[in-house]
Structure 1
Amino acid sequence: MKNILIVAILFLTQLTHSQEDSTRGYKVKVGDQSPKLNFSLMDGTSITNENLKGKVVVLQFTASWCSVCRKEMPHLEKEVWQQFKNDDFILIGIDLKETPEKVKHFIEQMKVTYPFAIDSDGTLFESFTLPNAGVTRNIVLNKQGEIIFLSRLYEEKEFAEMISIIDATLKKP
């Protein structure tokens, strides 16, 4: 009986792991409409699906303890935010489950100027991801709120692809 239980646990662990591999930890996919958005930036600005319509949007899920996030953020600042911020575009950093004080310090350390929000309980993150998924994710929405790109971790080729998609989408009428 004990052996059957161990085999069952191993099978379920492998099944869960392989499912996450194929989805990269997302429960949404390219082509889906964005889940409901209703949160505030750290400056108090309200963000909803409705007030993002007409903009290309990047939602960057991050955290101060994440080394890959720290590696990616200077690239997001320079190659995405500074390049597109004067277009119909917004990049929103969304810190996962940290205090406002910690997030302010994190933003200062990373020298980023794009807007930030705090997902204090993780519900916004979990509207896009499977349970226990890791951060360092960029979700790109077109002007109609449809998901057009999903990234996981920071990889230069994928990051360049994201920039190309943002640029091409901004050029569409």
Structure 2
Amino acid sequence: MKKIATFLFSLFITAHLFSQVENNYQFKVKVGDIAPDFEMSLPSGEKVKLSSLRGKVVMLQFTASWCGVCRKEMPHIESEIWQRHKDNPNFALYGIDREEPAETILKFAEATGVTYPIGLDPKAEIFSAYAEKEAGITRNIVIDKDGKIVMLTRLYKEEEFNKMVKLIDSLLAKK
């Protein structure tokens, strides 16, 4: 009886852990995949196509003005990543704001003190190429110089964020 109870408990815990990952992350992509290509507009009207950034280390940060976790994370992205690497020609960082107009994005960037570019994703089509459309917004994608996804994050966790910073540093140190 004890063995059956232990087995059922183990099965329950395993199922719970897998459902947590599924419910919390809901990515459509995984580490090792080539990042899905897209084109987005910046509030200035400038267009950015992901494939045109090949040869650079790219960080995509999915965000929205109503996202509290995004507001917490963005100043860290600004100071610990953008300010350190913005002048590096081998690095690109873009926030991607879903389903909000340019005016809202500009006010949001100003309120959070962010100076890195934030693009428009008016129908969440870019977001939906990377994650389930109704999934939580706060997430980052790190892409290497070959266009391959090397890290996916969800929510703001200091330890994971620090790993992402170190990964970006190491990718940029490679020749």
TM-score higher than 0.5:
yes
Q: Which residue of the other structure, out of 169, 172, 175, is the alignment partner of 1:170?
A: 172
Determine the structure 1 residue equivalent to 2:54.
53
- C-alpha distance in 2 between matches for 1:82 and 1:70: 17
AA in 2 matched with 1:92: Y
Q: Which residue of the other structure, out of 114, 124, 129, is the alignment partner of 1:127?
A: 129
AA in 2 matched with 1:133: A
Aligned residue pairs, count: 159
- C-alpha distance in 1 between matches for 2:107 and 2:46: 20
What do the CA deviations read for 1:45-87 (whole angstroms, capped 9, x no partner)?
Answer: 3222331011111110001111100000000000010011122
- Structure 2 alignment gaps of length 5 or more: 1-14
Provide TM-score, normalisation by structure 2. Answer: 0.85
Provide TM-score, normalisation by structure 1. Answer: 0.86
Any conservation in 2 of the 1:58–1:140 contact (CA below 8 Å)?
Answer: yes
Q: Which residue of the other structure, out of 132, 135, 138, is the alignment partner of 1:136?
A: 138
3-state SS in 2 of match to 1:61:
strand
AA in 1 matched with 2:167: I
3-state SS in 2 of match to 1:76:
helix
Q: How does 1:147-166 map to 2 (within 5 A)?
A: 147-166=149-168
| TM superposition shift of 1:131 | 3.5
Q: Percent identity?
A: 47
- Structure 1 alignment gaps of length 5 or more: 1-13
Determine the structure 2 residue equivalent to 1:24.
25
Determine the structure 2 residue equivalent to 1:91.
93
3-state SS in 1 of match to 2:130:
coil
Q: CA-atom RMSD, angstroms?
A: 1.9
